[in-house]
Amino acid sequence: MTEQITMAPCPFCEGPPCVIAKDYMTGKEVEFDRPLDEYSEENYSAYVWCHECGAQGPVIDSCTLGIFEGLHDLTVMAVARIAVERWNERGSKARACYDGGAKDGLNLFPRSEA
């Protein structure tokens, strides 16, 4: 059995999170316990979303994980687990990018005419 992990509450409303996994090509929902077929070319995507306000965490997919992170032959459960880990991450690693755009008005909506 996969080790359980506590999902953090929604960062916007602190509502309860839900996890969904889909076939990467068809977009159809798949079960977490779907067995990995070694001859299959199936890829999966997964994300966490807030049941109350609909906010969504990063969409994780096994195709991208294979290409950019060297993670191959991931089960649906493994992809969903990574989606939960990304949902739980509350960092500020991109804050410098936000702050850098502030002086150019990039954080305003609508943006000023150039």
Note whether 90 and 48 are within 8 A (CB): no
Q: Minimum distance from CB of 32 to Zn ion (Å)?
A: 22
Interface of this chain with Zn ion, residues 45 to 74, rule: CB under 5 A = 50, 52-53, 55
Q: Is 15 in the site for Zn ion (CB under 5 A)?
A: yes
Q: Minimum distance from CB of 53 to Zn ion (Å)?
A: 3
The total number of residues shown for the chain amounts to: 114
Separation of alpha carbons 61 and 38, rounded Å: 18
Question: Whose Cβ is closer to Zn ion: residue 15's or residue 66's?
Answer: 15
Q: Is 8 in the site for Zn ion (CB under 5 A)?
A: no
Q: Is 84 in the site for Zn ion (CB under 5 A)?
A: no
